[in-house]
Structure 1
Amino acid sequence: MADNHIRSAPCHTERTAGGTTVVELRGEIDILTAPAVAARLDAVTAGPCPDLVLDLRPVSFIDCAGLGLLCRARNRTVARGGRLRLVTDSACFRRILRGTLLSGVFEVYAHLSEARVPEETGTVPGGRRAPTG
């Protein structure tokens, strides 16, 4: 059966701001795209004390595979003594977090400024817009 649905392939941009890595994810984060996104987040959370902000405002869809990769990124960050914040203005996504009992697990903010991201100091190597799917 042919799939006539046009997918919004996820991509990301990445930058550093005063020691904080800000990753903006866009598109759909689902079972097909999650492995590539997870690989990037694994790289970002590999060092000691990662300070990571995931800007999810441009994400159009996330399924359980996407939630799993967010949990993995959080667990890796916490295990290395770091901090992870999510930025989303989606009431639907917040409802999903509440329904899965994850709302208390993540620091969630509606605006990037609320996540206390310092001024931009440079771009992470390879942090230009790149497809992840």
Structure 2
Amino acid sequence: MQHGPAPLPRSLRIHRDRGHLVIEFHGEIDVAAALEITPFLDAATGRPGPRVVIDLRAVEFFDCSGLRLLYRARRRVLAQGGALHLVCTHPLTLRILHLTRLAEVLPPMASLDEVLSRSEATGTLEIN
């Protein structure tokens, strides 16, 4: 009996755009959502040279479980020689990113187009 890939959780959307894998988090990113998201995030960041954008614009709640997901993704992308960027506009999520200093190593951009346009202009998407 063959099984297809696991369905995406409600809190996650994944698509490709201009050579990047865009992972959109949706709704509440808490411990339960993080458990569902982790296998998909690991698959996206475990390949050589991944080019990943994590989009948090549709997130309504974001706790330390979400931070762990971002730190994990960043560490895995760096280990694979890839590129990672973050899109975020929600004031409370931005505050968490700044208070934890994650914004210093993974600076949030205001839109997906801004990230991808910057990547096209430089030919790469760099991790700080």
Query: Normalising TM by the smaller chain, what interval?
Result: 0.7 to 0.9
Moved over 4 A (4+): none
Contact 1:24 1:54 in 2 (8 A): yes
Query: How many correspondences in the alignment?
Result: 111
Residue correspondence of structure 1 range 1-133 to structure 2 within 5 A:
10-116=10-116
In the TM superposition, what is the alpha-carbon distance from 1:10 to its structure 2 partner?
A: 4.2
State the identity %.
Answer: 41
1:70-119 deviations in whole A, cap 9, x for unaligned?
1000110011111111111112111111111211010310111111168x
Where does residue 125 of structure 1 map in the other structure?
A: none
Structure 2 Cα separation of the partners of residues 100 and 17 of structure 1: 29
Higher relative contact order (CA 8 A, sep 6+): 1
Output the aligned Cα RMSD: 1.8
Where does residue 4 of structure 1 map in the other structure?
A: none
**What is the TM-score when the length of structure 2 is the normalising length?**
0.79
Structure 2 Cα separation of the partners of residues 60 and 10 of structure 1: 13
Letter in 2 for 1:30: D
**What is the TM-score when the length of structure 1 is the normalising length?**
0.77
